[in-house]
Amino acid sequence: MEPYAEVVESYRRFADEASDSPTFADWSRAVAEDPEVVEWIRALPALKQQPNLVLAAARWHGVAAPGPYAGFRDALLGDDGSIVDTIMSRSTQTNEVGRLATLVPAFAQLAAGSGRPLALLEVGASAGLCLYPDAWGYEWTTEAGPVRLGEAPYLPCRVSGDAPLPTALPEVAWRGGIDLNPLDVTDEDAMAWLENLVWPEQDERRARLREAVRRARTSPPELHRGDLLTDLPALVEEATAHGTVVVFHSAVIAYLEPADRLRFDTMIRDMVGDGVCHWVSNEGKQVLESVTATGPAIPPDHPTFVLGVDGQMVARTHGHGRSMRWTA
């Protein structure tokens, strides 16, 4: 997803990316062909026009999903201001723990190379649910058969290519995060919004989110309110005392304006170059072009995330962690 893309292009692209949600795919295609709804969305600030946010806000106010596009359309065009208020006050802080199935191989590689436990620092942490890679089991389905690590419930992922699947869970000595609006796992309203962001048909993801929240509440993560472009270096310095620092993010940098993405890219590469941290990125293929350019060419019409380690592409991944094609 490209939050700053023009509305018609953005919703057509999201329809392809949301192929595993028939409702959202159908609604997004219909939006792209509906001039009145397009104009309604264009009246919002650029970052607030994104499909995930608009669709979720409509659901938050009772639009049935699954349900017909007409219900969604009528709700937007007849809005009394409630949906707009939700769009303006909320954000798409999806905490998809399924992505850990694609992140853990990268974490394990970095841990093995350092010989120290990890100090995980998540950029755009939301509620910090992805800061617990050592608390889940994993089932990677490979061409040679399933590979399991840890205990059930397992996070599933189809794997192709010569992926370095770990044989032990990463040892995490410290876990923290930074977000403009960190969410408290004990805040029922905030957790209800996170659940609302899960796509309509995806009951398995919804159940996994509830379990992730339950686990995080037993030992809430250390989350900091701040701007990643200015406040990250100080947090990296703090984390250094605890272990090998790994700064990571997944579906976050897309929400920066293009110029700020470049600023972040330069800053984090300088930090990696100085040896103060490692960097694991997992973003849409167009978001961090410097990372995507280091791997095999990706067809223009192929939606995918790109997993990078210290600025080098190592895999293509599904946005919710369902699959991974190792390319390194």
Residues near 164 by Cβ (< 8 Å), separated by ≥ 6? 105, 108, 109, 326
Asked if 288 and 261 count as a contact pair (C-beta separation under 8 A), the reply is yes
Asked if 110 and 309 count as a contact pair (C-beta separation under 8 A), the reply is yes
Asked if 176 and 222 count as a contact pair (C-beta separation under 8 A), the reply is yes
User: For residue 304, how far is the Cα from the chain centroid?
Assistant: 12
Provide the pLDDT for residue 17: 85
**What's the whole-model pTM score?**
0.89
Provide the pLDDT for residue 20: 85
Percent of the chain with pLDDT over 90: 90
Q: Is the peptide bond before 66 cis (omega within 30 degrees of 0)?
A: yes
Confidence check: pLDDT of 2 > 60: no
Q: pLDDT per residue over 194-253, tens digit each? A: 999 999 999 999 999 999 999 999 999 899 999 999 999 999 999 999 999 999 999 999
Provide the pLDDT for residue 197: 95
The pLDDT-based confidence of 1 (bands split at 50, 70, 90) is low
pLDDT-wise least confident of 8-17, 239-248, 274-283, 306-315: 8-17
Instruction: Reduce the DSSP state of residue 172 to 3 states and report it.
Output: strand
Instruction: Reduce the DSSP state of residue 120 to 3 states and report it.
Output: strand
Residues near 168 by Cβ (< 8 Å), separated by ≥ 6? 108, 149
Mean residue pLDDT across the chain: 95
Residues near 4 by Cβ (< 8 Å), separated by ≥ 6? 46, 47, 257, 258
List the CATH code of the domain at 97-326. 3.40.50
Give the separation between CA 188 and CA 180, rounded to whole angstroms. 19
Provide the pLDDT for residue 110: 95
Spell out the domain ranges in the chain.
7-89, 97-326
Structure-block tokens of residue 90:
């909320």
C-alpha angle 249-252-254 in degrees, rounded to nearest 5: 130
Confidence check: pLDDT of 3 > 60: no
Give the separation between CA 22 and CA 318, rounded to whole angstroms. 17
Q: pLDDT per residue over 70-103, tens digit each? A: 999 999 999 999 999 999 999 988 789 999 999 9
Give the separation between CA 316 and CA 311, rounded to whole angstroms. 14
pLDDT: is 20 or 51 the higher one?
51
Provide the pLDDT for residue 275: 97
Helices then strands, counting H and E runs in the chain, come out as 12, 11
